[in-house]
């Protein structure tokens, strides 16, 4: 039988703060295949996430096919807007939502992984991170600061991940990020520079695949997932409409299930995908193949 076996491998899944998003689904799929999982969580959401876990509120979601419960080996604070603590503004350092988080930067996470698990602590790195503070604004109305934040957190952070986690990977390691169709098609209402950030993420995936392949022997891929009405995506403001439209106009009309993205991530992180790098893999029910709406808008009068 063709099986994905990740036993003995450790995955870092960055961008998990609840059980509703693609990050959690990927973590669960990796655990189903035998990997141990550590996660990075945005500091302001960390206490809420750990409280939900401790109170058993996520137990149903964490139940694996075997009946066992998915456990997170570690939960680390992570704000991917910052590479080092020297980059963190004073108002963030002193914000009570960051209290007691320690070094929550990407560099800090790398140091914690080494301290906890040794010089080569991970095999798989999942980048499930995005933030566009002005995502509800049209691109033309987006400020420079909002645009640069979207690109910095949603795209450059992958570059920073490869810089810092590449040397920490065990042999045949891999990186995987999540993108969206707005990188190549116009999605009105998905603004604030997020479309630009996703386009940059996909371009960087190709370049990083070359550089990380030559330097670390690591693979770098990206999943272009269909829209999901997760808690994080609610910030977009039109996510329900996006899901409905994609479903109505895709070859397969049922909405994307997070487990489908998780399964693809597990495959791309496994030895079965050893020949795949620099790729954007669509998990969107075929929506990317469509060039015209199924129900075209009526002509204007």
Q: Which band of pLDDT confidence, cut at 50, 70 and 90, is reported for residue 240?
A: confident
Q: Of 56, 23, 54, 57, whose CA–CA distance to 41 is shortest? A: 23
Mean pLDDT of the chain: 94
Q: Could you report the per-residue pLDDT of 181-206, keeping only the tens digit for each?
A: 999 999 998 999 999 999 999 999 99
- Return the residue matching tokens 């330097």: 215
301: pLDDT confidence band, cut at 50, 70 and 90? low
71-83 confidence digits (pLDDT tens): 999 999 999 999 9
**Would you place residue 101 in the very low, low, confident or very high pLDDT band (cuts 50, 70, 90)?**
very high
User: DSSP state, 58?
Assistant: T
141-177 burial code (b ≥16 CB/10 A, e <16) = ebeeebbebbbbbbbbbbbbbbbbbbebbeeebbbbb
How confident is the model at residue 136, as a pLDDT? 93
First to last CA, the chain: 59
210 in active site: no
Active site residue 190: yes
Which is higher by pLDDT, 99 or 222? 222
Instruction: Determine the Cα–Cα distance for residues 224 and 255; give it in Å rounded to an integer.
Output: 14
- Cα separation, 104 vs 83, in Å, equals 9
With H, G, I as helix, E, B as strand and everything else as coil, classify residue 187: coil
176: pLDDT strictly greater than 80: yes
DSSP sequence for 89-154: -HHHHT-GGGTT----SHHHHHHHHHHHH-SS-EEEEEE-----TTTTS-GGG--HHHHHHHHIII
Token output for 241: 């409409």
Structure confidence by residue, pLDDT tens digits, 36-70: 999 999 999 999 999 999 999 999 999 999 999 99
% of residues, the chain, pLDDT over 90? 86
User: What distance in Å separates the CA atoms of residue 194 and residue 237, rounded to the nearest whole number?
Assistant: 14
Cα distance between residue 95 and residue 104, in whole Å: 13
Report how far apart, in Å, the C-alpha atoms of 28 and of each of 12, 21, 61, 257, 276 are. 12, 11, 9, 13, 22
180, 245, 282, 287: which one is catalytic?
180
Q: 164, 163, 230: which is closest to 18 by C-alpha? A: 230
Contact present, 27 and 70 (Cβ < 8 Å):
yes
Close Cβ partners of 42 (under 8 Å, ≥ 6 residues apart):
15, 17, 77, 78, 79
Give Cα 109 distance to the centre of its chain: 16
CB 116 within 8 A of CB 133: no
Alpha carbon 287 to its chain centroid, in Å, reads 20
How far apart CA 182 and CA 198 sit, in angstroms, is 7
pLDDT at 173 over 70: yes
Q: Are 152 and 131 in contact (CB under 8 A)?
A: no
Hey, how many other C-beta atoms are within 10 angstroms of the C-beta on 220? 28
Catalytic residue of the set 76, 147, 190, 287: 190
Predicted local confidence at residue 241, as pLDDT:
87
Going along the chain from its start, the domains and CATH numbers come out as 10-286 (3.40.50.720)
Check pLDDT > 90 for residue 292. no
Q: Is the pLDDT of residue 1 over 80?
A: no
> For residue 245, which of 198, 181, 201 has the smallest C-alpha distance?
181
Name the token pair of 30: 């990796």
């Amino acid at each position: 039988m063709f099986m994905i076996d990740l036993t003995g491998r450790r995955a870092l899944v960055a961008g998990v703060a609840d059980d509703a998003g693609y990050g959690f689904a990927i973590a669960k799929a990796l655990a189903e295949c035998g990997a141990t999982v550590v996660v990075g969580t945005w500091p302001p959401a960390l206490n809420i996430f750990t409280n939900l876990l401790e109170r058993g509120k996520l137990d149903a979601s964490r139940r694996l096919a075997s009946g066992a419960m998915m456990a997170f080996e570690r939960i680390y604070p992570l704000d991917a807007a910052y590479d080092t603590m020297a980059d963190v503004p004073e108002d963030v350092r002193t914000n009570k939502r960051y209290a007691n988080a320690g070094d929550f930067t990407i560099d800090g996470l790398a140091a914690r992984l080494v301290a906890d698990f040794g010089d080569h602590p991970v095999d798989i790195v999942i980048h499930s991170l995005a933030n566009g503070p002005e995502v509800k604004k049209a691109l033309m109305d987006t400020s420079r600061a909002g645009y640069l934040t979207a690109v910095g957190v949603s795209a450059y952070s992958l570059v920073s991940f490869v810089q810092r986690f590449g040397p920490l990977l065990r042999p045949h390691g891999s990186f995987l990020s999540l993108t969206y169709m707005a990188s190549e098609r116009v999605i009105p209402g998905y603004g604030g520079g997020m479309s630009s950030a996703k386009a940059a993420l996909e371009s960087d995936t190709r370049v990083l695949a070359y550089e990380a392949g030559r330097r670390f022997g690591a693979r770098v891929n990206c999943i272009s997932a269909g829209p999901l009405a997760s808690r994080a995506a609610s910030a977009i403001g039109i996510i329900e409409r996006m899901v409905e439209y994609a479903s109505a106009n895709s070859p397969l009309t049922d909405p994307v299930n997070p487990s489908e993205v998780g399964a693809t991530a597990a495959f791309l992180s496994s030895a079965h995908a050893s020949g795949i790098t620099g790729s954007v893999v669509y998990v969107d029910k075929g929506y990317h193949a469509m060039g015209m709406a199924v129900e075209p808008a009526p002509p204007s009068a």
